[in-house]
Amino acid sequence: MLRWKKKRLLFNPKNTPNKQEWFHEFAQAPNALVFDHFVRVYFCCRPKPDKNGSVVSYGNYVDLNRKNLFEIISTASAPLMSLGAIGTFDEFGTYPISVVKVGSRMLAYYGGWTR
């Protein structure tokens, strides 16, 4: 029987060393790819709501040291994708996002936000 051992929080966008306005909070729908020396965790995040209280969602990632998953190596310096054009399915962002490695290529599958 599989037994889970609870550790602790690995990552919180509010506490990142190189804070970016476009990822103020949330690390939703995480999924990971394991590399030789690090684990890249993809997730969706949000900036602060606009003046109307509306939010958008961006794809992001955090790289964690493979030997110590509590050590953050880096985060994305910009959203993985820009918001879609007006009227498109992803005009207000992406959620969720899943990234897979196919050969030497990285492919992202995602849902979009619209209002």
SS3 101: strand
pLDDT of residue 79: 94
Confidence (pTM): 0.89
Residue type, 62: V
Rounded CA-CA distance 71/79 in Å is 21
Rounded CA-CA distance 65/29 in Å is 20
SS3 85: coil
Query: What band does 2 get if pLDDT is binned at 50, 70 and 90?
Result: confident
Query: What band does 14 get if pLDDT is binned at 50, 70 and 90?
Result: confident
Listed residue (13, 33, 35, 15) closest to 79, CA to CA: 13
The mean pLDDT of 57-63, rounded to a whole number, is 95
The angle at the Cα of 60, spanning 56 to 66, to the nearest 5 degrees, equals 155
